[in-house]
C-alpha cells in the first residue's frame, strides 16, 4: 500500500564514487528537486553509491519528467499493486510523487540504480515526522524506508535483502544523528518481512496502520555490525 504520508540526479555526489551509467544520469539531471538537497534527510542526493554483491547501488532522487513511465509500469505489476495500491494511469503515480516532491523534504522518492540499471523504487522518509510516529515509540531522526523491486526477474533470489542492507547502511553512514532505520511492511507480505530479517532488521512489534496490519522492522545502529 502507499506510505503512511504521502531528475534522476546525483549531481552533488562525487562522480568518482559512481559507475559510468550513474555518472551519465547525474550529468543529465543537473537540478534535483530542492527537498533532495535539504537538511531533513542530510542531503540524500549526495550520498553516492554503496557496494553490494550484485554491484554498486545508488539511490537517485526521482525526476518525474524522465521516470514517471518507468515507475507507473512497476506500480501496475499485480505483485506490486497488491500492496502499494497505486495501479492506474500515469496521473495516479504522478500525484503520489508530487505529494513528496512538493513537500518539505521529509520524504524523498528515489530510483534504486544497481550496476547502472534503474531496477527498484524507494522512498526514504523521516519516520519521526510521519503519521507513522503515532503508532510506535518514535525517536528523533528515525528514518523509514519503503521499496519495491521493479522487475519480476529481480525478485525471489535474495537481491532485496542485499539492497535493504545497503540502503540501511547508506542511511546510517550519512545520517549520523539517526540511531535506527524503520520499516513497516504489510504482515501479509511475508516475502518482504523475510527480506528485512535477512538484511539485519529485527521484528520489533505488530502495529495497526490505516489500511494494513504491519510488522515494525528496525535496524539499530548499535547492532548493525552484529546482524
pLDDT tens digit sequence for 156-207: 889 999 999 999 999 999 999 999 999 999 999 999 999 999 999 999 999 9
Give me the mean pLDDT over the 5-9 stretch: 32
In whole angstroms, what is the distance from residue 73 CA to residue 69 CA? 6
* Total residue length of the chain: 227
For the chain, give the mean pLDDT.
87
Give me the mean pLDDT over the 55-68 stretch: 97
The CA distances from residue 218 to 25, 139, 142, 164, in Å, are: 32, 12, 10, 12
User: For residues 63 and 8, is the Cβ–Cβ distance under 8 A?
Assistant: yes
Question: In the chain, how many H helices and how many E strands?
Answer: 6, 8
Mean pLDDT check: name the lowest of 10-19, 63-72, 78-87, 98-107: 10-19
Extract the C-alpha cell encoding 182.
Answer: 524503520
Show the CA angle centred on residue 44, arms to residues 152 and 135, nearest 5°. 75
Give the per-residue pLDDT at 156.
Answer: 85
Give the per-residue pLDDT at 29.
Answer: 43
Give the per-residue pLDDT at 69.
Answer: 98
Extract the C-alpha cell encoding 178.
Answer: 539517526
Residue pLDDT, tens place only, 140-156? 999 999 999 999 889 98
User: Taking Cα atoms as reference points, which of 196, 219, 218, 215 lies closest to residue 205?
Assistant: 215
Residue pLDDT, tens place only, 81-139? 999 999 999 999 999 999 999 999 999 999 999 999 999 999 999 999 999 999 999 99
- Say if residue 12's pLDDT is above 60: no
In whole angstroms, what is the distance from residue 40 CA to residue 66 CA? 25
C-alpha distance across the termini of the chain, in Å? 28
Main-chain dihedrals φ then ψ at residue 98, nearest 5 degrees: -60, -35
Write down the pTM of the prediction.
0.85
Give the per-residue pLDDT at 225.
Answer: 84
Show the CA angle centred on residue 110, arms to residues 32 and 161, nearest 5°. 150
Residue pLDDT, tens place only, 21-36? 444 444 444 444 445 5
Helix axes 159-174, 190-198, angle to 10 degrees: 60
- Say if residue 62's pLDDT is above 50: yes
Give me the mean pLDDT over the 201-217 stretch: 96
In whole angstroms, what is the distance from residue 77 CA to residue 200 CA? 28
Amino acid at each position: 500500500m502507499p506510505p503512511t504520508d504521502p531528475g534522476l540526479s546525483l549531481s552533488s555526489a562525487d562522480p568518482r564514487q559512481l559507475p559510468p551509467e550513474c555518472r551519465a544520469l547525474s550529468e543529465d539531471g543537473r537540478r534535483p528537486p530542492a527537498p533532495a538537497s535539504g537538511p531533513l534527510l542530510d542531503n540524500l542526493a549526495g550520498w553516492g553509491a554503496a557496494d553490494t554483491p550484485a554491484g554498486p547501488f545508488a539511490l537517485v532522487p526521482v525526476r518525474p519528467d524522465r521516470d514517471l513511465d518507468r515507475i507507473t509500469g512497476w506500480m501496475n505489476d499485480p505483485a506490486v499493486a497488491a500492496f502499494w495500491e497505486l495501479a492506474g494511469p500515469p496521473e495516479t503515480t504522478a500525484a503520489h510523487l508530487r505529494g513528496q516532491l512538493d513537500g518539505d523534504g521529509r520524504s524523498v522518492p528515489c530510483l534504486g540504480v544497481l550496476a547502472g540499471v534503474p531496477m527498484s523504487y524507494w522512498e526514504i522518509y523521516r519516520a519521526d515526522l510521519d503519521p507513522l510516529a503515532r503508532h510506535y515509540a518514535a525517536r528523533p531522526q528515525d528514518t523509514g524506508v519503503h521499496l519495491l523491486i521493479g522487475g519480476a526477474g529481480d525478485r525471489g533470489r535474495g537481491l532485496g535483502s542485499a539492497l535493504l542492507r545497503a540502503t540501511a547502511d547508506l542511511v546510517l553512514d550519512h545520517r549520523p544523528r539517526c540511531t535506527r532505520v524503520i520499516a513497516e511492511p504489510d504482515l501479509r507480505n511475508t516475502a518482504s518481512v523475510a527480506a528485512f530479517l535477512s538484511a539485519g532488521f529485527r521484528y520489533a512489534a505488530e502495529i495497526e496502520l490505516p489500511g494494513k496490519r504491519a510488522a515494525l522492522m528496525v535496524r539499530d545502529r548499535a547492532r548493525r555490525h552484529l546482524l
